[in-house]
């Protein structure tokens, strides 16, 4: 008799359940599963707080998980989830603990945030965290909404800095599919461009040009790194224009009018009043 999906799910949970014997941690609940490991909420008895514990999925190499822990431990930034502890459990599986992030994934945030400026500012914060990693020589390689959390106070946290991962097909840069391809910061820029496309279902022409530039097939044709992409978004928020898009004369005039509409209206009122006074004062 075949087992039901519910029974199979429980069996899988039992297999994934880490052996926390002789550790400072007590099991609380399952948080999620990824390609490399499973994440649980556990209670740290020493510091008396809940943290997230990532443990190897059965069959994975311990070295990869511990390499991920070491990489993240070097990235001390408000937008990157900090690592607290790492080691090997009684069942022989590697683990590390990190901050337990409260909030929603980026894709859920999109549904609850209609404001264009709010979406772009969250995206800027994401770019800032990735730019910091690039400045430390670290490339994420698997940026996607499921690896980005937005907290209740607008904080943005990038997770799952896997070492040597191939990336998720929808967000993966073309060079990541090439055997021995050179995967650098431009691969993360490509993924960020795809994420921005998801954030902006109906982008303006300048923003569409920005997205196209970030997701160009040739890595050399993209923004050099996440810092340049951050600056381009900041330029759009400040002026409504981007370097990746050449405006027509009409578009420049329209943008100037939108940016200075209150001043132009006051100037027009001033001209009308002066003209009216001129007519009234004539004999």
Which residue among 85, 107, 142, 225 is the active-site one? Answer: 142
Strands 104-105 and 148-150: antiparallel
Contact by Cβ (8 Å): 53, 18: yes
238 labelled catalytic: no
* Rounded Cα–Cα distance for residues 174 and 197 (Å): 17
280 Cβ contact partners less than 8 Å away, ≥ 6 residues apart: none
DSSP 174-233: GGGGSTT----HHHHHHHHHHHHHHH-SS--HHHHHHHHHHT-SSGGGS-SSHHHHHHHH
Within 10 Å of residue 240's Cβ, how many Cβ atoms?
Answer: 17
* Closest alpha carbon to 149 in 175, 129, 166: 129
- Residue positions annotated with a catalytic role: 142
């Amino acid at each position: 008799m075949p087992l039901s999906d519910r029974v199979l799910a429980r069996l899988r949970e039992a297999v994934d359940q880490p052996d926390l014997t002789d550790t400072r941690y007590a099991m609380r609940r399952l948080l999620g599963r990824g390609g490399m490991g499973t994440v649980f909420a556990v209670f740290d008895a020493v510091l008396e707080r809940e943290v997230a514990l990532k443990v190897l999925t059965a069959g994975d190499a311990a070295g990869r998980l511990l390499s991920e822990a070491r990489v993240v431990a070097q990235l001390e930034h408000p937008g990157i989830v900090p690592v607290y502890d790492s080691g090997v459990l009684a069942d022989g599986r590697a683990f590390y603990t990190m901050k337990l992030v409260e909030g929603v994934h980026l894709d859920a945030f999109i549904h609850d945030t209609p404001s264009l400026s709010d979406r772009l500012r969250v995206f800027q914060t994401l770019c800032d965290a990735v730019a910091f990693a690039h400045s430390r020589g670290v490339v994420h390689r698997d940026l996607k909404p499921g690896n980005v959390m937005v907290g209740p106070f607008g904080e943005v946290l990038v997770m799952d800095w896997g070492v040597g991962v191939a990336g998720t097909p929808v967000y993966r840069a073309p060079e990541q599919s090439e055997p021995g391809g050179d995967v650098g910061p431009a691969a993360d820029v490509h993924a960020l461009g795809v994420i921005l496309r998801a954030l902006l279902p109906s982008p303006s022409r300048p923003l569409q040009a920005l997205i196209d530039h970030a997701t160009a097939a040739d890595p050399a044709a993209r923004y050099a790194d996440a810092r340049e992409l951050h600056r381009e978004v900041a330029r759009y928020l400040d002026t409504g224009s981007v370097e990746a898009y050449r405006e027509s004369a009409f578009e420049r005039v329209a943008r100037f009018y939108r940016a200075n509409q209150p001043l132009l209206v006051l100037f027009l009122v001033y001209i009308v009043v002066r003209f009216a006074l001129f007519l009234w004062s004539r004999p």
